[in-house]
Amino acid sequence: MTPVVGHRPLRLACAGFSESDLDSLRGTLARLGPYLRASWELVDDPRDADLCLVSLDTGSASAGGARRVGCAARPREFPKGTLYRPLRVPQLLAVLSETSRAFAEGDGPEATPAQPAGDTQAGPPLRLLAWPLDLEGASRLRLHVLAVLTFAPASVGTLAARIGEDAAAVASEIEALRREGLDEQVAGEAPAAPRQAPPQAAWRGLVRGLGRRLGFSL
């Protein structure tokens, strides 16, 4: 993938990371460069960053206006969607890709996935509990689903729209994550009842009435 040109590099900061962690991350960013739609640079001050990775093992820090993603050696002991530390390349690639996509589409640092009209018919909002232990061989779809859910809960319809995949494929991936105990339905949200399609005769009458108003003979 060729990175987007004509824009400043996106800025990544880390809070609570050791110098060896940062050195390793610089090397990883260089290797991931050809696979990202935007270039990334590592900055020192989280307040200047577009994305801040925070080590929850050593205490959190303010990320200013940046998107903030927690990292921990035992992520299940921390807030939902926490990444592993040391960072795993597939997780980092997924989160950087999702952040690049959000900025390319004009979403601000604090933006959350927008729900298209009628999206609730595709199911209730879903929340990521944890990333899988093993991401070797994980599909592009799985990585993108995990990346989107890291930032905010989303329904199958929202995920499909943001990732650009078929809703049935996304639903299948969500079900696989549920079997692994990695996602859950947001409490208090129930699926909306599907709308009944109008009877065929009523639909034809509606079309004829609209046609007459526009001066057509139907």
pLDDT digits (tens, 9 = 90+) for 18-58: 999 999 999 999 988 888 888 999 999 988 999 999 999 98
The confidence score (pLDDT) of residue 10 equals 94
The confidence score (pLDDT) of residue 194 equals 37
- Single-letter amino acid code for the residue at 54: V
DSSP state of 180: T
The confidence score (pLDDT) of residue 64 equals 65
Question: How far apart are the C-alpha atoms of 117 and 123, rounded to whole Å?
Answer: 13
Mean pLDDT on 147-163 = 90
Span of 62-76, 79-93, 168-182 with lowest mean pLDDT: 62-76
**Contact (CB, 8 A) for 71 and 86:** no
User: What percentage of the chain has pLDDT greater than the value 90?
Assistant: 42
Q: Is the pTM of this model over 0.75?
A: no
Question: How far apart are the C-alpha atoms of 143 and 159, rounded to whole Å?
Answer: 12
The answer to whether residue 105 scores a pLDDT higher than 50 is yes
The answer to whether residue 113 scores a pLDDT higher than 60 is no
Q: Which CATH number fits domain 1-109: 3.40.50.300, 3.40.50.1000, 3.40.50.2300, 3.30.1490.20?
A: 3.40.50.2300
pLDDT digits (tens, 9 = 90+) for 76-102: 888 888 999 889 999 999 999 999 988
The answer to whether residue 60 scores a pLDDT higher than 90 is no
DSSP state of 81: T
Residue showing tokens 């004509």:
6
Q: In the predicted model, what is the mean pLDDT of the chain? A: 77
- pLDDT-derived band at 61 (thresholds 50, 70, 90) equals low
**Contact (CB, 8 A) for 148 and 112:** no
- pLDDT-derived band at 210 (thresholds 50, 70, 90) equals very low
The confidence score (pLDDT) of residue 198 equals 39
